Amino acid sequence: MGVKLKNWEQAKRMLKDMDNRMTKKVIEGTMRKAAKPLVRSAKSKAPKGDTGNLRKSIGTFVSKSSERKKNLKAGIWAGPRTRGSHKGFHAHLIEFGTKKRKPTKGEYLVFEVDGVLVFAKEVAPVKPQPFMQPAYQESKGQMEQVMFKEFGNEFQKVAKKYK
């Protein structure tokens, strides 16, 4: 659908209408739709582990305004969640691995495992098990297609007024 602009005033009005249409709700809704292939892929690639907490934690969530840059209207994150009932706090350790760890204070590292305190002088390294980065690489084309389609629909709605 083509739009024939007659003058700068009309162009300014159209851009203003587009800005008004691109509300936080529209942007976040589009981004959530676009993130679905990433979430699906990440869940399938994440190691299950004993509890399944990592896989269960993967989803989308809205970024707080303090976490967003001031010039953005909205922000959606996709990946392991840590708030509420979600327990994806260890995702980065799985994705990137760890080196051998020793206590920085005291003689032992202390962990609670199934209600029992475990004392260790050191903890062996954990090999990386990437799941988010491969999921992103696999799904980025699909995510772009969804965003182009959804935002394109919004542009079409504004363009109809200026035909």
Per-residue pLDDT tens for 29-48?
888 999 999 999 999 999 99
On whether residue 60 sits in a domain, the answer given is yes
On whether residue 107 sits in a domain, the answer given is no
On whether residue 3 sits in a domain, the answer given is no
Residue where the block lists tokens 């083509």: 2
Distance CA 117, CA 56 (A): 26
On whether residue 80 sits in a domain, the answer given is yes
Torsion of the alpha carbons at 59, 64, 70 and 71, rounded to the nearest 10: 30
pLDDT tens per residue across span 58-117: 999 876 655 555 556 667 788 999 888 999 999 999 999 999 989 988 899 998 888 899
On whether residue 98 sits in a domain, the answer given is no
Write down the pTM of the prediction. 0.76
On whether residue 101 sits in a domain, the answer given is no
Comparing CA positions, the residue from 19, 14, 20 lying closest to residue 2 is 14
- Please tell me the chain's helix, strand, coil percentages from 3-state DSSP, rounded to the nearest 5: 50, 15, 35
Structural domain count of the chain: 1
On whether residue 99 sits in a domain, the answer given is no
On whether residue 1 sits in a domain, the answer given is no
Comparing CA positions, the residue from 24, 16, 118 lying closest to residue 63 is 24
Q: Which domain holds residue 64?
A: 8-88+129-160
- What DSSP string runs through 104-134? SSSS-EEEEETTEEEEES-B--B-----HHH
The H or E element spanning position 87 is none
